[in-house]
Each structure stands twice: as C-alpha cells, then as structure tokens.
Amino acid sequence: MANIISVCLTFDVDLADYTETWRTTNEFAKAIPEILTILERYPEVRTTWFIRLDQQVRSIWGYADHFFREYKSIINELIDSGHEIGWHPHCYIQAGGNWKQNVEEAMILEELSLDAPLAQSYGLKCVRMGWGFHTNKTMCLISDLGFDVDSSAIPRPQYIWEETKKDWTLTPLEPYFPSESDYRVPGRPDLSILEVPISVTHVKAPYDLETVLRYINLAYSPDLLRKPLEDWLKQHNHLITITHPYELLPRDKVHGLLAFDMNAFEQNLNTVRELAQMQVGSISFLTISEFANLHWERSHE
Ligand SMILES: [Zn+2]
C-alpha cells in the first residue's frame, strides 16, 4: 500500500476574508463555481468542503444554515460529483461592535450542541473548527455528538504573531485518535473520533525572518509551493491541503504567499499529481471521510 499516496484537497468556506481584517465575502457567488469548473476537468479528484453553519451566520444572514439553504444547488452539485461537505463552525462573539473569536469554552460547547443537530440533518460527518480552535471538552463533545472525523489540527508551534487562539503544539503529522486527557495527541483512553491533521511543512514567504511551518495551501504561488510539496511527499504517503475559495480570486494587491489566481490552484494541483507519480507511484484523491475509512481499515488489519 505504501506506493499509493492519498491526497485530500479541502476547502474552508468562511464567507469572511481574513486578508482584509474580517470582511464578509460571498464565496458561493464567484469563487466556488470557478473552482468547480476546474474540478470538472479532473473527475478522479474528490474534495472536501467545510461550510459555515453557526450562530454568527444566523445573526448576520438570519439562519444558522443560511448557506445550505441559499446554495442548495451548488452543494448538491458537489455531493453528486463525489465531493464531501463538512461542518465548519466559527464561534464568534461580539465585542464593542466588532466580531471576534470566542474562546470561552462554556459558550462554545453550548453553541456546538445547539448547531450540531442541524449540521447532522445535512448528513455532515466531519468537522473542522473555525480557526482550528479546540479544547479537550470541545473535542470530546463532537465525538460524543457522533461525528466520525475532525480535521482541525494544524501541527506547529504557537508563533507570537498569531492573532487567533489555537494549540496544536504537540500534535503529530499523522492521523490519530485523540486522548481523552489531551486532544492534541494520541493516548489511552482515547476518543472514537479520528483526528486528521492538515499537512504542515516549512513554507518560506519572502517576508519571513524565521523558519515558519505553514499548512499546505494550493492557493500559494506555484513557485513557492513546489519545494514544500516535494519535501512533504518524500516523507509521507498522505497529503491534506487547505484552501479558502476567496484566496483564488484576483485582486489589486500583492501578497507574498497567496497568488490570488485560479490558475495557480490548477497548476498546484498538477504539481501534486506530477510529484506524487514521480516520487511515490500512484495517487488517489479522497474525501476526508474516505481517507478516514482507509485509515480505520488499515489500523484493524
Ligand atoms: Zn474558517
């Protein structure tokens, strides 16, 4: 089995643009249809889309599941083409007229419990927490609620310049069943939910003053991403990427890492295919749940 590489391309549909100090942006209107057009050229590529359904969506748009109602046809098109939809709750709190990340555990637990049945009514089985924020209790809760997979982990140190809160400092790069006493690592007794960490490696931005571990994002400039992809694929037989659809739309300003170019996404996708075939042999593009099933089968062989 070692000569097949499993690749999960994932998208976080945040409806907010983090490169512009929190501005709402409707990714269903433009970015997602354009990505779908690209994906149609690669029918073997199945992907996973983590879509917002939470109380901030309800506050702004009227229903927690506003995007599932409003863009039913796009979501059904994704599902019919073999892609997976996952739950992406962003727990916000309003402070001084501005929205900010909520890090109050009790409030987050309450919000997750409130919205989970609605998310599950759409058949969602996997979760990615907004900002990658988890605690022992939130991980335990989503496991107890019956979700099969969580893919929130970004295994890297906490950098002082990070503006949002999360902690995956001890987390391995491979999937694991989280320990009840520390969601960041495997250990007994463990939870029945599988954690699938996003692939993180050294990606050098032109403005970096230190070595920074970043998640592998197919929205990065193809020239910058090739080397990190090569490094990753030399050492692993899986790859979990993450992209925000708005990162592929053109804009005026230049960003050191993000290309803001739909073509960059396709070029990076082809680089993944090329490198995987060259370095590993063959490649299989799976949804997060398909990848998790493979992992379960292997761990029970
Ligand atoms: Zn998000």
pLDDT at 300: 60
pLDDT at 22: 62
Which pair of structure tokens corresponds to residue 131? 């900002």
Phi-psi region of 229 (alpha: psi -120 to 50; beta: other; left: phi over 0): alpha
264 or 19: which leads in pLDDT: 264
pLDDT above 50: residue 169: yes
Which pair of structure tokens corresponds to residue 186? 């495997």
Q: What is the DSSP string of 230-297?
A: HHHHHH-SEEEEEE-GGGGS--SS--SSB---HHHHHHHHHHHHHHHHHHTSEEEE--HHHHHHHHHH
How much of the chain exceeds pLDDT 90, in percent? 82
pLDDT at 109: 98
pLDDT tens digits, one per residue of 245-262: 999 999 888 888 999 999
Point out which residues pair with 8 in neighbouring strands.
240
- Ion ligand 1 nearby residues (CB, 5 A): 12, 14, 130
pLDDT at 1: 45
pLDDT tens digits, one per residue of 59-112: 999 999 999 999 999 999 999 999 999 999 999 999 888 899 999 999 999 999
β-strand 23-24 against 47-51: which pairing, if any? Answer: unpaired
> For the chain, which domains are there?
4-299 (3.20.20.370)
| CA of residue 2 to ligand 1 center, whole Å | 32
What is the rounded average pLDDT for all residues in the chain? Answer: 94
| CA of residue 98 to ligand 1 center, whole Å | 17
How much of the chain exceeds pLDDT 70, in percent? 97
| CA of residue 170 to ligand 1 center, whole Å | 22
| CA of residue 235 to ligand 1 center, whole Å | 28
pLDDT above 80: residue 194: yes
User: Do residues 181 and 136 lie in contact, with contact meaning Cβ atoms separated by under 8 Å?
Assistant: yes
pLDDT at 263: 97
Rg, the chain, Cα only: 18
**DSSP label at 170?**
T
| CA of residue 1 to ligand 1 center, whole Å | 33
pLDDT above 60: residue 154: yes
pTM assigned to the model: 0.96
Residue type, 51: I
| Residue 298: Cβ-neighbour burial (10 angstroms; 0-12, 13-18, 19+) | exposed
| CA of residue 3 to ligand 1 center, whole Å | 33
| CA of residue 90 to ligand 1 center, whole Å | 6
pLDDT tens digits, one per residue of 107-145: 999 999 999 999 999 999 999 999 999 999 999 999 999
pLDDT above 90: residue 18: no
